[in-house]
Amino acid sequence: MALRLMLASSRIASHLRISVSHRAFSSVVLKDLKYADSHEWVKIEGNKATVGITDHAQEHLGDVVYVKLPDVGRSVSQGESFGAVESVKATSDINSPISGKVLQVNKDLSESPALVNSSPYEEGWIMKVELSDAGEVKKLMDSDKYSKFCEEEDSKH
Amino acid sequence: MRSPRTLEVWRLGTVNYLKSLKIQDKLVSERKSHQIPDTLLSLEHPPTYTLGKRRTDHNLLIPQSQLTKIGAELHYTQRGGDITFHGPHQAILYPIISLRSIGFGARNYVETLERSMIEFASMYGVRARAGNKCETGVWVGDRKIGAIGVRISCGITCHGLAFNIDPDLNYFEHIVPCGIADKEVTSLRRETDALLPKEEVIHKQLITCFAKAFSYDDVVWKEDPSFILDTKDDG
């Protein structure tokens, strides 16, 4: 019975493009995104990219009360800080998973920073970037690698 | 089997706020490039008000021009949290540690800082507690005894915590501390009848509680503060 349920949930998950790992307290990892080891995600569409922080990141941050958004038009570089989020009296830098020019930022986060917690992959997106080097994406992790990475980090304590 | 974790501790006495920022910047960079192990700065500041990244200066209740009259400085910082006061007889810890090596996020880190202070307070029979949601810090009843404001960059921490041993609490009247109105600030002196030992001893106790809360196997007490205080001054 348990096996049938597990297979069913995997089938539903794969239809929804969600990677589900069958362990306790797993965070959501989406199959069609790429991931940085600093827990940011990027969705590539042609030469444009949308960036945010992952479910794992928002869980470990706590309730986000403020998001420092980058200025539209500025350059961002892979691995470099482009903004910050504040939660529980901690300001955490967020690093860009790709290099390029900021086209748009999610202004909703100024009024509703908690969107980063409630919807990290959809309404909590942070910026849209015009890519300057599509090849950089190769340096990022796919969903399986990122899931394993999160498991390894969480097992450290 | 995990490798043993070492904490290097520098006890620096009274350090000007800007100087402490320069020291921390240097140490964060050295920690990022694995030149140093996890490091803890233990110090006090002269009277100083500081603001966090959100620059909530509406919570400073006197004009900035009045600050020199009361012998205090004001600094804007990149840490989380609201406005606070630092001054003599307030024990400050600035941990420069790698959260990635212990798999901690901001929330676990801050909760462990709170636990360090709660454990320390209990040594004097003071029953402190962590703050409620949106009230990060350490409280005795409704009175705040310990404050937290940190910055995390590439998984390395800086800034940290401030625990009131016996500071001049009048300085807190000029701010809305941590942006929380109608709540008092208190100190170890006020909350305990126990005889307080020399502050050197008190600082060492707080450091030990920190090291225990973060499960360090080894604490190395660095003896020569001038090594770290003689950072090249740019201005």
| Gap between the Cα atoms of A105 and A8, Å rounded | 38
Chain B: nearest CA to A116, how far in angstroms?
Answer: 15
- Identify the pLDDT of residue B232: 57
Residue A90 and residue B106: Cβ atoms within 8 Å?
Answer: yes
B178-234, pLDDT tens digit by residue? 777 778 999 999 999 999 999 999 999 999 999 999 999 999 999 888 877 776 554
Residue of B1, B29, B154, B180 to mutate for A, most A C-beta atoms under 10 A: B154
Spatial CA neighbour of B182 closest among B147, B131, B142, B128: B142
Q: Give this complex's ipTM.
A: 0.86
A42-96, pLDDT tens digit by residue? 999 999 999 999 999 999 999 999 999 999 999 999 999 999 999 988 999 999 9
The residue-averaged pLDDT of B141-159 equals 95
Residue B53 and residue A155: Cβ atoms within 8 Å?
Answer: no
- Residue with the bigger pLDDT between B94 and B59: it is B94
Band (B34; pLDDT cuts 50, 70, 90): very high
Averaged confidence pLDDT in chain B: 92
| Gap between the Cα atoms of B66 and A57, Å rounded | 42
Decide: helix, strand or coil at residue B106: helix
Q: Which of A64-68, A86-90, B137-141, B162-166 has the lowest mean pLDDT?
A: A86-90
B89-117, pLDDT tens digit by residue? 999 999 999 999 898 999 999 999 999 99
Residue B203 makes CB contacts below 8 A (sequence gap 6+) with B11, B42, B91
Decide if pLDDT at A2 tops 60. no
A42: β partners:
A34, A51
| Gap between the Cα atoms of B51 and B79, Å rounded | 8
Q: Are strands B48-51 and B73-76 parallel, antiparallel or unpaired?
A: parallel
Radius of gyration of chain A (CA): 16
Residue A92 and residue B152: Cβ atoms within 8 Å?
Answer: yes
Task: Spell out which residues of chain B touch residue A38, defining contact as CB-CB under 8 Å.
Answer: 154-155
A98-142, pLDDT tens digit by residue? 999 999 999 999 999 999 999 999 999 999 999 999 999 999 999
Band (B135; pLDDT cuts 50, 70, 90): confident
B99-103 long-range Cβ contacts below 8 angstroms, 24+ apart: B99/B152, B99/B155, B99/B156, B99/B157, B100/A153, B100/B155, B101/A156, B101/B5, B101/B38, B102/A156, B102/A157, B102/B5, B102/B214, B102/B215, B103/A153, B103/A154, B103/A155, B103/A156, B103/A157
Q: How many CB atoms are located within 10 Å of the residue A109 CB?
A: 24
* Closest residue to B148, CB basis, from A84, A89, A156: A89
Name the closest residue on chain A to residue B2, using Cα atoms.
A156
Output the six-digit token pair for B147: 């404050």
Band (A7; pLDDT cuts 50, 70, 90): low
A53: β partners:
A40
Beta strands in chain B (DSSP E): 6-14, 38-44, 48-51, 73-76, 84-86, 90-96, 129-130, 138-140, 143-153, 156-164, 184-185, 218-222
Decide: helix, strand or coil at residue A10: helix
- Identify the pLDDT of residue A5: 53
Decide if pLDDT at A8 tops 70. no
Could you give the C-alpha distances from B167 to A54, A149, B9, B62, B172, in angstroms and in order? 41, 45, 23, 19, 10
The residue-averaged pLDDT of B28-34 equals 96
